[in-house]
Structure 1
Amino acid sequence: MSLSVSSAAVAGACASHGAPLLEVTDLRVAIARGDDEIRPVDGVSFSIRQGQTFALLGESGCGKSMTALALARLLPDTGQICGGSVHLAGEDVLALPEAAMRRVRGGRIGMIFQEPSTSLNPVMTVGAQIMEALARHCPPGVVLADEACGLLEAVGIPDPARRLRDFPFQFSGGMKQRVMIAIALAGRPQLLIADEPTTALDVTIQAQVLDLLVAIQRARGMGMLLITHDLGVVARVAHTVGVMYAGEIVETGARTDFFAAPLHPYSRKLFAALPGADRRGAALEAPEGSVPGLDRVFQGCRFAERCPMAFDRCDEEAPGWHRLGEQAVRCHLYEGVSVPRPFVPAQALTAVAEGARSRQPVLEIRDLSVHFPVRKGVLKRKVAELKAVDGLSLRLYAGRTLALVGESGCGKTTVGKAALRLVEATAGEFLLDGENITALPEQALHPLRRAVQMVFQDPFASLNPRMRVGDIIEEGMNALALGGDPRQRRKQVDGLLERVGLDPDMRWRYPHEFSGGQRQRIAVARALAVAPRVLICDEPTSALDVSVQAQLLNLMRELQREHGLAYLFITHNLAVVEYLADEVAVMYLGRIVEEGPVERVLSAPTHPYTRSLMAAVPRIDAESAEDSGADTATAALDLPSPLAPPAGCHFHPRCAHATDVCRLSYPQVTEMSQGHRVRCHWPRFGA
């Protein structure tokens, strides 16, 4: 028989021996909204031991970040903690007066926020911001500048004494996240809260940040609360896992147990929504719908509306907790169950439909270069040239997907914008259906604008906030004089909204009234409105939850099959590449270093840079936290500046296999087999 347990017991389920560092019991948060009340945290219990990481996993809107803010008592003005307890090393945090709580925040509890660009003060140097935290929590007599320098050095920022005088905009995304970690460590916290610390970071930068957090945790013995929706990150660093849904935790357990046999139907849906090579040709099993609003009173199971295994009792009665070994789950299905069944994600049942490739590409890019002049002084004299793209060639075929991968700063987005003539090329040619359109004037580019459309990374920034969604979608048709009369266009807009999974009545709403995943669907509908033949997708899934990502990938796969679209998919998510792409091109400092069929390049990468990207990807196997692979050493070095790329092979300063010839000359293309090409002097070394 299964063992039903209380919330208090669940809080202690993750701490096997001794008193936990943090113990949260039946925590409840309410936020007033007019006459209504939102309950983003509704009876949450968990515990964290010293030196251990507890990962809080779930979709956006589940209440993860609000849980973290409640622990530090940083709720919005209309929010309040209306129940439960939070004990840090035995002390009741919720009972402390605000004056004492100020010493706890940044001192005993450190916090890393999701977006460093908005968390760092843009008008203060990073040194001043670190010293501000040190001044509050360090004992008298400490030399703040020396301490700040030591913190920057500890988080791996080179030349820390000089970088203390720099402002946040002078740091890359990964470096800014390191500065945030330094600020969080200034008070030598017992507990570190990391809220989505790697969202939208490249795989190599993500690996740097995660490895840094693990190393600092081991050195200082901190407990860590990691908030994320990325199962790969959880597998890499967590010791215990809690799955959160609609304001409550529905499953807890050790990382190894959780990845061997996730129990709750919601947890299993998250695994089934993960893209990968093993699911090519099959739809991803994303949970249908979205997280329910937290302003309603729930009677039964909160996941029942989206659960394929729900029965009548799920709608009428909230499930209690059940223990299965070291795991605990809140689900009616586990009454009378004592041993969890292993979970095997659904595999692809059908092969990818391989249509015959057209002999002629829809869009061809030949020897593209995009150089930006760097000017200084009153007269704005050119002092240098930034080579964002430096001699790149690509071909896009109907019904196929070419993935362009690489770190931030390698020039991927510039390629997409140059293909649309949104930035002017320094050199190179563009061929649309074999016709050279390179020299066409701006007013003659209507065929290109219609045939090639772009879906941008941030849909909120790319959608006009002052226009209704229907007008946004219709705007392209109006500009290109497509779609017939206004009545016919409105009908087409309604059809497009339905096609991307939205209600036609939503055409009257503004962008801010939609979720991130819905806004990305609107961006896809806008691109489809002019019946394009090529879609350039710039990181369209980078900041989406795994379930919303799966919904979008399913939609894109269906649209490609229905309309024969060619995709240029710009991304750093290699799991998405494995699932969606037919060919992949790996880009480094403005040049393609390896390309070919996706199954060839990703299963047997020959360039050291491609191997380092593959090694840096967090995997969901239980051993991934301990085994990061030899090639991850590459991730410790930052991408060189395109203002002054290294001589010879651009990758040689980061390559463990570099020789003298690599430092002297750039490698020529080596043909491997079956269309697999690489630019490396030693392509088979270590392959």
Structure 2
Amino acid sequence: MNALEIRDLAVTVPGGRRVVDGLSLAVPAGAVVALAGPSGSGKSLTARSVVRLHDPAAGVRATGSVLLGGVDVMRLGRRELRAVRGRRVGYAFQDAAAALNPVITIGRHLAETVRAHGAGDAREAGAAALERCGLDPAEVWDARPFELSGGQAQRAALALATVLEPGLLVADEVTTALDPVTQAAVLDTIRAQARADGRAVLLITHDLAVAGRWADEIAVLSEGRVIEQGPSGRILAEPAEPFTRELVAAARLDAPFASPDEEAGEPVRSVRAVRRVLHGRGRPTIALDGVDLDVRAGESVAVVGRSGSGKSTLVGVLAGLDRPEAGTVMAGDRDVWAARERDRRAVRREAGLVFQDALASFDPRYTVGRVIAEADPETDVAALLERVGLDPELAGRRPATLSGGERQRVALARALAAGPRILLADEPTTGLDVLAQERILALLARLRRDEGLSVVFVTHDLRVARRVADRVVVLAAGRIVEDLPAVRLGAASHDETRALWAGTVLDHQADEEAAHGRHGR
């Protein structure tokens, strides 16, 4: 029996462009079906159609049938639709920070949902949902979304989607902000519930490693149509369509980009014995604990680790924006925090920043062109958009109208606008599909080669780290536990690195990647 059947779905956006074009898909009860494809292929529009989240007033129109147990959601009235949302279908959004009310605690989010549906004890149900998603209710119940890390916010959003234990879960890129270890725990839970309770899961993802590891079937989406569908193992090992083969090849990220021919130069940023303590809700957290790191001219360093390991805090310290309680931060031969404020501003101008949550870093009133020109009013916006793989015509649009991947590329364009000496990129490929990732990583490699740009690249995806970096620094609980050449990730010695690596490679790649690392190719 199918928990969900989508028949001949078509979705048009303002201007009459049909983004989803005659899509049909079935999700059996108790099965996990991944809908995979590049940004802009129609994945999220398809997911939103399941619970009719499109706004007709905004010019979005959906036609076709969406059947839940034989009931066509497209023909339900407003009151009937409210009863379906949450109770029969749980929806976890891609951007958890935007989906959660910033002034309401996580506990209140959960409690209000339970009470609205008369589903029993709100505290008990909410706490159980948080625990299923790997969160400590005592820690996050009274927290507001902005007080959580990106990974914690995503898990809280997933708990909210499943608190009523619906028969169908639509998970729209819910693991995008999670490190591989946390990702595995969350997706293991989702799959276990599907097996035990007969829950169906429609897993929206651009990550074929995620799709292959946790989905029973993969449906590949291109230009609004399912071009290929079948068992996950078959799709990854023997893809029939050329476009699917391209996606699988890009997901492997087999060979690192070549490093510049010349050796790295003098350090452009150095930290010594840096200690940073964060204070939230009255409980101090040691974010960095005695960190030593050099980033040299022309060098690319990937900083990896689980959520909460101190990665983003380290970026703030390197940028000269976040003052540590102890230790020194050097920009060349300048002691950043011993310098005058005017000199610190000069240090900050030398760093191009790309933040993890691209949309939150933009002024919502600005067009894309104005967002990019913030860094340098004289910049050629059209040329920068082309350099990051975007249509220059997007310059007149608002960032909120773009896909997650497009927003990340706009953020990268803004960071490059002032011609920085060092690029500090905090999860810049998080929202991108594998093909877009490849373009961004190739761009970074070209910038390093042509301009001698140094790069600090924060990521939880070790495939990306191996692709973009000369060396990888692994953080755990605010400490550097391993610093090794990127090509040797498959043979890392520290348990933390090995755990992160195991969650990033495609299953059938694991043995060959380990051998690659052992031989140092």
Q: Report if TM-score (shorter chain) is over 0.5.
A: yes
Q: Provide the residue aligned with 1:311 in structure 2.
A: none
Contact 1:517 1:549 in 2 (8 A): no
| Equivalent residue for 2:96, pick from 97, 101, 116 | 116
d(CA) in 2 for partners of 1:247, 1:163: 38
Contact 2:32 2:191 in 1 (8 A): no
Superposition RMSD in Å: 3.6
| Equivalent residue for 2:166, pick from 183, 189, 193 | 189
Q: Does 1:62 align with 2:41?
A: yes
C-alpha change, 1:127 and 1:528, in structure 2 (3 Å) is closer
C-alpha change, 1:97 and 1:471, in structure 2 (3 Å) is closer
Contact 1:402 1:584 in 2 (8 A): yes
TM-score by length of 2: 0.84
Q: What is the identity, as a one-letter code, of the residue corresponding to 1:208?
A: A
TM-score by length of 1: 0.66
Q: Provide the residue aligned with 1:218 in structure 2.
A: 195
1:53-93 per-residue CA deviation (whole Å, 9 max, x = no partner) reads: 1111122322222222322233323455433x333334444
Q: Provide the residue aligned with 2:462 in structure 1.
A: 574
Contact 2:465 2:472 in 1 (8 A): yes
d(CA) in 2 for partners of 1:230, 1:42: 22
Q: Does 1:21 align with 2:3?
A: yes
Q: Does 1:543 align with 2:426?
A: no
The 5-angstrom pairing of residues 133-144 of structure 1 reads: 133-135=113-115, 137=117, 142-144=120-122
Q: Provide the residue aligned with 1:105 in structure 2.
A: 85
Contact 2:106 2:141 in 1 (8 A): yes
Q: Provide the residue aligned with 2:275 in structure 1.
A: 369
C-alpha change, 1:386 and 1:42, in structure 2 (3 Å) is same
The 5-angstrom pairing of residues 470-619 of structure 1 reads: 476=375, 489=378, 499-500=387-388, 516-517=404-405, 519-600=407-488, 602-617=489-504, 619=505
The 5-angstrom pairing of residues 647-666 of structure 1 reads: none
C-alpha change, 1:169 and 1:562, in structure 2 (3 Å) is closer
d(CA) in 2 for partners of 1:165, 1:534: 38
Report the secondary structure of 1:424's partner residue.
coil
Q: Provide the residue aligned with 2:507 in structure 1.
A: 621
Q: Does 1:39 align with 2:21?
A: no
C-alpha change, 1:240 and 1:418, in structure 2 (3 Å) is same
Q: Provide the residue aligned with 2:307 in structure 1.
A: 408
Q: Provide the residue aligned with 1:280 in structure 2.
A: 256
Deviation of 1:47 (Å): 1.4
Deviation of 1:420 (Å): 2.6
Report the secondary structure of 2:322's partner residue.
coil
Deviation of 1:586 (Å): 0.8
Contact 1:406 1:412 in 2 (8 A): yes
d(CA) in 2 for partners of 1:526, 1:358: 26
d(CA) in 2 for partners of 1:118, 1:77: 20
Report the secondary structure of 1:362's partner residue.
strand
Report the secondary structure of 2:46's partner residue.
helix
State which drifts further: 216-225 or 407-416.
Answer: 407-416
The 5-angstrom pairing of residues 88-237 of structure 1 reads: 88-122=68-102, 124-135=104-115, 137=117, 142-158=120-136, 168=145, 172-237=149-214
1:92-139 per-residue CA deviation (whole Å, 9 max, x = no partner) reads: 444555444443332332322223333344555545544444445567
1:183-208 per-residue CA deviation (whole Å, 9 max, x = no partner) reads: 43444432222221112222222122
C-alpha change, 1:245 and 1:128, in structure 2 (3 Å) is same
Deviation of 1:587 (Å): 1.2
Deviation of 1:412 (Å): 1.9
Deviation of 1:38 (Å): 4.1
State which drifts further: 409-418 or 358-367.
Answer: 358-367
Q: Provide the residue aligned with 1:456 in structure 2.
A: 355
C-alpha change, 1:503 and 1:593, in structure 2 (3 Å) is same
Q: Provide the residue aligned with 1:444 in structure 2.
A: 343
Deviation of 1:474 (Å): 5.8
Aligned residues: 512
C-alpha change, 1:241 and 1:364, in structure 2 (3 Å) is same
Deviation of 1:556 (Å): 0.7
| Equivalent residue for 1:51, pick from 30, 33, 46 | 30
1:160-193 per-residue CA deviation (whole Å, 9 max, x = no partner) reads: 7x96566555655444444444443444432222
d(CA) in 2 for partners of 1:154, 1:508: 43
Report the secondary structure of 1:209's partner residue.
helix
| Equivalent residue for 1:77, pick from 52, 56, 63 | 56
Deviation of 1:496 (Å): 5.1
Contact 1:360 1:434 in 2 (8 A): no
Contact 1:196 1:228 in 2 (8 A): yes
d(CA) in 2 for partners of 1:37, 1:560: 41
The percent identity for this pair of structures is 40
d(CA) in 2 for partners of 1:116, 1:509: 23
Q: What is the identity, as a one-letter code, of the residue corresponding to 1:404?
A: V
Q: Provide the residue aligned with 1:661 in structure 2.
A: none
Q: Does 1:256 align with 2:155?
A: no
Deviation of 1:575 (Å): 0.8
1:127-164 per-residue CA deviation (whole Å, 9 max, x = no partner) reads: 5544444445567xx5555444544454454457x965
C-alpha change, 1:420 and 1:262, in structure 2 (3 Å) is same
d(CA) in 2 for partners of 1:455, 1:26: 39
Deviation of 1:621 (Å): 3.0
The 5-angstrom pairing of residues 1-12 of structure 1 reads: none
Q: What is the identity, as a one-letter code, of the residue corresponding to 1:106?
A: G
d(CA) in 2 for partners of 1:614, 1:355: 28
Report the secondary structure of 1:364's partner residue.
strand
Deviation of 1:30 (Å): 4.4
Contact 2:301 2:473 in 1 (8 A): yes
Deviation of 1:44 (Å): 1.3
Report the secondary structure of 1:65's partner residue.
helix
Higher-helix-fraction structure: 2
d(CA) in 1 for partners of 2:236, 2:188: 20
Q: Provide the residue aligned with 2:224 in structure 1.
A: 247
C-alpha change, 1:584 and 1:435, in structure 2 (3 Å) is same
Q: What is the identity, as a one-letter code, of the residue corresponding to 1:87?
A: L
Deviation of 1:593 (Å): 1.2
Deviation of 1:553 (Å): 0.9
C-alpha change, 1:25 and 1:591, in structure 2 (3 Å) is same
Deviation of 1:592 (Å): 1.0
C-alpha change, 1:465 and 1:674, in structure 2 (3 Å) is same
Contact 1:275 1:578 in 2 (8 A): no
Contact 2:311 2:458 in 1 (8 A): yes
Report the secondary structure of 1:418's partner residue.
helix
C-alpha change, 1:413 and 1:154, in structure 2 (3 Å) is closer
C-alpha change, 1:124 and 1:21, in structure 2 (3 Å) is same
Q: What is the identity, as a one-letter code, of the residue corresponding to 1:244?
A: L
Structure 2: any 5+ residue segments left out of the alignment?
512-517
Q: What is the identity, as a one-letter code, of the residue corresponding to 2:498?
A: R
C-alpha change, 1:474 and 1:579, in structure 2 (3 Å) is same
The 5-angstrom pairing of residues 341-420 of structure 1 reads: 352-353=258-259, 355-358=261-264, 360-372=266-278, 385-420=284-319
1:644-679 per-residue CA deviation (whole Å, 9 max, x = no partner) reads: xxxxxxxxxxxxxxxxxxxxxxxxxxxxx999xxxx
C-alpha change, 1:564 and 1:674, in structure 2 (3 Å) is farther
Structure 1: any 5+ residue segments left out of the alignment?
1-18, 282-351, 377-383, 479-488, 628-672, 676-687
Q: What is the identity, as a one-letter code, of the residue corresponding to 2:10?
A: R
Q: Provide the residue aligned with 2:515 in structure 1.
A: none
